[in-house]
A and B are shown apart, each in its own frame.
Chain A
């Protein structure tokens, strides 16, 4: 219903400071920031070598659990407890978190990068190029990515982080592509883009000066969504035992825990803390994504106050 003049008023209102100070966005950044900090700064405060096998007394519960008849007494040296192979949980978390994050960031960066390229091309060029890209991305989205990943990882056991990220990116690009293509298609018909075309601006100029600034919130939301999805896929694969064995990751820790029947044995700290870390990451990214969504679509903001 907004005519162009009303639309521009809305755009002006949208660039005011208040939308960026979205509560969800800030909360999400805090969560994600804490997790990233744990990984980056952690080694400065805690000995990361304790994440190696047999570096600590095994099966210690965390400090807050208190003494129990089944396990040795907790110790201050290992505040989060240790697991059956003698690894200290705190050190393990500190060492594993950056690895888990890295896979996600890499895969999402590749996926969104490819998505931007293909989405712009499809939306802007149109014609058969658009058809091919659209059909391809719809197909890949339908294929259960985890199943394919399982097959691939099952074949090649020694998957290292970078290869895993590459494969995850292969399934991460259709989502951003669809999103960006849809946005480009709708923006292409807007007045300001047509003006740019009429004034003989080059396609690159149009892409970067006219379309890109308005797409930024969508791109950012795509990226965080992609990171979340990739970390999840990686964690899922690792929990099945298909992850890298030479470096510690949160998912593999869960795998070892399940394999050692940690659930029945009541060693909740073994699988509990990695899950907590992962959940923090996901919640943080989730909040960032919906925060960015609300910035991109001002109507979502209004709905809360109605």
Chain B
């Protein structure tokens, strides 16, 4: 569980014991097995892990956008005292984008190719705030685009007329349109070149600094997290294995998996062979008896294979699930 990092911040989003399964003819795949995560107001939290660990699924669950055959099996997602999973469809629809918005993975294909940018931003303004007049929509759109550093003329363009970085920033502009309290950014910098990555990361940071919107950043890029996030949660095979403040995590990571992730970041200062570690994540259909990472862990103890470690606070604001970190 990610405990309160700074005790004067109130908790905005609290995911409790989230379990998400994908039903397949060969058995249910447990994409999330008991995820606990919280985001405080105005905080940037990073959720890192390798492909297939379940982080996108966890994020999508917050918006209740898990597509069949996926199914939220258990858990509570609390925002402002309400459990989102208990709302009916229409209530949820109204809360979407107004309270929580999304900057999707693959902004390349996330914009409707047949609508102009102004229409796509105007969509949410009209649906949630009843803004109908063209002039009003135009004004708001221009202001939003300005906030992300895009010129106002972008509003009259079609998605295919924009570059990848511009499309990503349009998505960010769309995400802040209704001044939500939380933005979920799913791999916001993947598929972009390094310079544009920097611009996008900077934009996200600006958004938080100027508008006070909390951001949950999902990524596999540890370097991005180091730059951007206040707190980090590391996910592996459907579980959060470690979470801490960013500086704390990078300096004093104790879970073996986190250490491996940090070591794998190429260094500009010293030459070292690219670190990789063998093995694959365990079969997500079976729930292993012991620690999920034990099959690949180089420091595994005998007890690791048989008993699953529970999350424990190893330092202030630093929680890990590992027998070695006590």
Chains A and B touch (C-beta atoms under 8 A apart)? yes
Q: Is the CB of B25 within 8 A of A13?
A: yes
Q: Is the CB of B51 within 8 A of A3?
A: yes
Contact A306-B68, Cβ < 8 Å, known A1-B106, A13-B25: yes
Residue B8 lies at the interface, judged by CB distance under 8 Å to chain A: no
- Bitwise interface map of B from 47 to 58 toward A, beta carbon under 8 Å scored 1, else 0: 000011000000
- Nearest neighbor of B29 in chain A, beta-carbon distance: A9
Q: How far is the CA of A5 from the CA of B56 in the complex (A)?
A: 15
Q: Is the CB of A5 within 8 A of B52?
A: yes
- Nearest neighbor of B105 in chain A, beta-carbon distance: A1
Q: Is the CB of A13 within 8 A of B24?
A: yes
Contact A16-B106, Cβ < 8 Å, known A3-B51, A5-B52, A306-B68: no
**Taking the nearest CB of chain B, how far is it from the CB of A16, in angstroms?**
7
Size band of the interface chain A makes with B: under 10
- Bitwise interface map of B from 68 to 81 toward A, beta carbon under 8 Å scored 1, else 0: 11000000000000
Residues in A neighbouring B51, C-beta threshold 8 A = 3, 5
Residues in B neighbouring A305, C-beta threshold 8 A = 68
Query: Which of B25, B68, B109 meets A16, CB within 8 Å?
Result: B25
**B46-103, CB < 8 A from A:** 51-52, 68-69
Residue A186 lies at the interface, judged by CB distance under 8 Å to chain B: no
Q: Is the CB of B68 within 8 A of A18?
A: no
Q: How far is the CA of A306 from the CA of B71 in the complex (A)?
A: 13
- Nearest neighbor of B51 in chain A, beta-carbon distance: A5
Q: How far is the CA of A115 from the CA of B105 in the complex (A)?
A: 39
Residues in B neighbouring A3, C-beta threshold 8 A = 51
- Nearest neighbor of A3 in chain B, beta-carbon distance: B51
Residues in B neighbouring A16, C-beta threshold 8 A = 25-26
Residues in B neighbouring A1, C-beta threshold 8 A = 105-106, 109
Q: How far is the CA of A305 from the CA of B67 in the complex (A)?
A: 13
- Nearest neighbor of B109 in chain A, beta-carbon distance: A1
- Bitwise interface map of B from 89 to 127 toward A, beta carbon under 8 Å scored 1, else 0: 000000000000000011001000000000000000000
**A1-55, CB < 8 A from B:** 1, 3, 5, 13, 16, 18
Q: How far is the CA of A115 from the CA of B50 in the complex (A)?
A: 44
Q: How far is the CA of A302 from the CA of B24 in the complex (A)?
A: 12
Q: How far is the CA of A137 from the CA of B109 in the complex (A)?
A: 31
Residues in A neighbouring B106, C-beta threshold 8 A = 1
**Taking the nearest CB of chain A, how far is it from the CB of B184, in angstroms?**
16
Query: Which of B25, B69, B105 meets A18, CB within 8 Å?
Result: B25
**Taking the nearest CB of chain B, how far is it from the CB of A191, in angstroms?**
15
Residues in A neighbouring B109, C-beta threshold 8 A = 1
Q: How far is the CA of A18 from the CA of B68 in the complex (A)?
A: 18
Q: How far is the CA of A13 from the CA of B51 in the complex (A)?
A: 19
Residues in B neighbouring A18, C-beta threshold 8 A = 25
- Nearest neighbor of B69 in chain A, beta-carbon distance: A302
Q: How far is the CA of A1 from the CA of B104 in the complex (A)?
A: 11
Residues in B neighbouring A13, C-beta threshold 8 A = 24-26
**Taking the nearest CB of chain A, how far is it from the CB of B283, in angstroms?**
12
Q: How far is the CA of A41 from the CA of B68 in the complex (A)?
A: 48
Residues in A neighbouring B25, C-beta threshold 8 A = 13, 16, 18
Q: How far is the CA of A5 from the CA of B52 in the complex (A)?
A: 9
**Taking the nearest CB of chain B, how far is it from the CB of A105, in angstroms?**
35
Q: How far is the CA of A185 from the CA of B105 in the complex (A)?
A: 26
Q: How far is the CA of A238 from the CA of B26 in the complex (A)?
A: 52
Q: How far is the CA of A192 from the CA of B308 in the complex (A)?
A: 39
Residues in A neighbouring B52, C-beta threshold 8 A = 5
Q: How far is the CA of A178 from the CA of B121 in the complex (A)?
A: 38
Residues of A within 8 A of B (CB): 1, 3, 5, 13, 16, 18, 302, 305-306
Residues of B within 8 A of A (CB): 24-26, 51-52, 68-69, 105-106, 109
* 10 cross-chain pairs, A with B, having the tightest CB-CB distances, nearest first: A306-B68, A5-B51, A18-B25, A5-B52, A16-B25, A13-B24, A1-B106, A3-B51, A13-B25, A302-B68
Not counting A13-B25, A13-B26, a sample of 14 additional A-B residue pairs whose C-beta atoms are within 8 angstroms of each other reads A1-B105, A1-B106, A1-B109, A3-B51, A5-B51, A5-B52, A13-B24, A16-B25, A16-B26, A18-B25, A302-B68, A302-B69, A305-B68, A306-B68
Name 16 A/B residue pairs within 8 A (Cβ), A-sorted.
Answer: A1-B105, A1-B106, A1-B109, A3-B51, A5-B51, A5-B52, A13-B24, A13-B25, A13-B26, A16-B25, A16-B26, A18-B25, A302-B68, A302-B69, A305-B68, A306-B68
